[in-house]
């Protein structure tokens, strides 16, 4: 059975359908006509690239994809056919904003929660507010310093892309390079009295390796530690909180360790004192202990409690590493001989996990805590070694068993052969 609506449509006279089609076409044309932008039409033809570039870039701009046009930011009349008409101040034409006005210019929409809901309800609307808490924002507002970064310095202008777009200047893999445009320039940074080697150092770090080589976009880049709109260097007191966003367990252990009070007392920034800041290298076991090159001896000396603890923790970790290596070697040897050792090899991962855990527990500076995981790890490693020994013993047993069996088999075949000879030597 047809629905009422279908029946009604079917019952319309043929000329009504034609009229409906004309109406649709007229409205579509009107909609297209409304999208006219004399700004783009003129600017794109201009020889001066400073003036034509915005029109060209805007084609890929996220605002354009959301139906916005030049006049939504700059005001004016996009339907006017003359320059004067388009830039008519009475039509709200604003022109190019001054650097000082840029945050408010963007904030006109981006700080308006009701407006932003129409485009992206999940998008925050406190960027402008946060910006004025940043070093950039403070210098701009309080000192009128226009060389600082504003919205367009990082997000670009006219060709603005969504942060998730790999071509965006604020895409995670592009952030460091975007910041480096100013922060890696010694000349540009000179008036502000801050170093310009952060980008070079960052590129050597374990974080940069994760983001550039392993393509791990969750790895931290500049804004993950410094903030984005509210960018500022974390203070000594807040460094641990910043690192602890990702390295939560290490941060938690450090807070309960004897180091916490000592670092606070000596005004030392927590994590970076040992791990550095921008050039954070992949941690290794050489960093702990009492040998030359270990970080612990920078503060501790022979005879103090920390010195002994550092030495002990290193010893226990080395023991576990040696146990794992020994077990791995014997299991690999058995595997090469054709023995099935995948299960003990899998079980040995328990020791490797313990080693990882022990390396984290170092942040507690407690030998007892480290030992709580090293001891079971060593037990697993010993079991792996035993399994390897058994596999090699089994391999030997098989060879010896084969030799005995072959002697027996050949002897049996020989006996049958003798029987045949005996039968066939008889007169038939």
Residues that bind other proteins (CB under 8 A): 338-340, 342-343, 398-399, 401-402, 405-406, 409-410, 412-413, 416-417, 419-420, 423-424
Nearer CB in complex with other proteins: 120/405: 405
Nearer CB in complex with other proteins: 267/422: 422
Nearer CB in complex with other proteins: 81/340: 340
Distance CA 76, CA 54 (A): 16
Q: Which of 71, 76, 65 is nearest to 119 (CA)?
A: 65
Query: Tokens at residue 104, please?
Result: 């408010």
CB 33, min distance to other proteins, A: 52
CB 272, min distance to other proteins, A: 41
Which 8-state DSSP code applies to residue 213? I
CB 427, min distance to other proteins, A: 14
* 3-state SS string for 65-81: HCCCCHHHHHCCCCCCC
Nearer CB in complex with other proteins: 5/426: 426
DSSP-derived 3-state class of residue 357: helix
Q: Residues 325, 304: contact at Cβ < 8 Å?
A: no
Nearer CB in complex with other proteins: 48/424: 424
CB 326, min distance to other proteins, A: 21
CB 353, min distance to other proteins, A: 21
Nearer CB in complex with other proteins: 51/415: 415
Q: Phi-psi region for residue 293, left (φ > 0), alpha (ψ -120 to 50) or beta?
A: left
CB 416, min distance to other proteins, A: 5
Distance of CA 383 to the CA centre of its chain: 37
Burial class (CB in 10 A: 0-12, 13-18, 19+), 131: buried
Helix, strand, coil proportions of the chain in percent (round to 5)? Answer: 65, 0, 35
């Amino acid at each position: 059975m047809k629905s009422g609506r279908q029946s009604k449509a079917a019952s319309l006279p043929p000329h009504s359908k034609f009229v409906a089609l004309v109406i649709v076409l007229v409205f579509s044309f009107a909609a297209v006509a409304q999208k006219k932008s004399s700004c783009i039409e003129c600017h794109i033809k201009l020889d001066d690239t400073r003036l034509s570039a915005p029109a060209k870039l805007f084609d890929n701009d996220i605002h354009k994809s959301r139906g916005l046009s030049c006049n939504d930011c700059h005001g004016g009349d996009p339907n006017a056919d003359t320059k004067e008409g388009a830039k008519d101040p009475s039509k709200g034409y604003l022109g190019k904003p001054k650097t000082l006005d840029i945050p408010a210019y963007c904030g006109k929409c981006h700080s308006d929660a009701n407006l932003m809901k129409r485009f992206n309800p999940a998008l925050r609307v406190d960027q402008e507010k946060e910006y004025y808490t940043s070093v950039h924002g403070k210098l701009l507002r309080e000192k009128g310093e226009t060389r600082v970064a504003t919205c367009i310095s990082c997000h670009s202008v006219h060709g603005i892309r969504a942060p998730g777009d790999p071509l965006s200047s604020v895409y995670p893999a592009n952030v460091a390079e975007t910041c480096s445009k100013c922060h890696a320039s010694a000349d540009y940074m000179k008036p502000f009295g801050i170093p310009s080697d952060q980008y070079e150092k960052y590129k050597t770090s374990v974080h940069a390796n994760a983001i550039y080589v392993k393509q791990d976009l969750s790895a931290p880049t500049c804004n993950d530690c410094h903030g984005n709109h509210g960018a500022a260097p974390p203070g000594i007191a807040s460094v641990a909180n910043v690192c602890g966003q990702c390295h939560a367990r290490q941060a938690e252990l450090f807070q309960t360790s004897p180091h916490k009070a000592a670092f606070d007392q000596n005004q030392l920034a927590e994590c970076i004192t040992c791990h550095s800041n921008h050039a954070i290298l992949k941690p290794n076991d050489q960093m702990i202990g009492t040998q030359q090159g270990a970080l612990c001896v920078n503060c501790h000396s022979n005879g103090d409690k920390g010195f002994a603890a550092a030495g002990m923790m290193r010893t226990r970790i080395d023991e576990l590493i040696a146990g794992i290596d020994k077990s791995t070697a014997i299991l690999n040897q058995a595997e090469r001989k054709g023995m099935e050792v995948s299960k003990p090899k899998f079980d040995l991962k328990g020791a490797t996990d313990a080693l990882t855990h022990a390396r984290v527990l170092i942040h507690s500076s407690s030998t007892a805590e480290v030992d709580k995981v090293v001891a079971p790890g060593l037990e697993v490693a010993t079991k792996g070694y035993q399994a390897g020994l058994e596999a090699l013993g089994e391999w030997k047993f098989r060879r010896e068993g084969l030799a005995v069996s072959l002697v027996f088999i050949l002897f049996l075949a020989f006996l049958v052969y003798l029987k045949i000879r005996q039968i066939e030597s008889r007169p038939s």
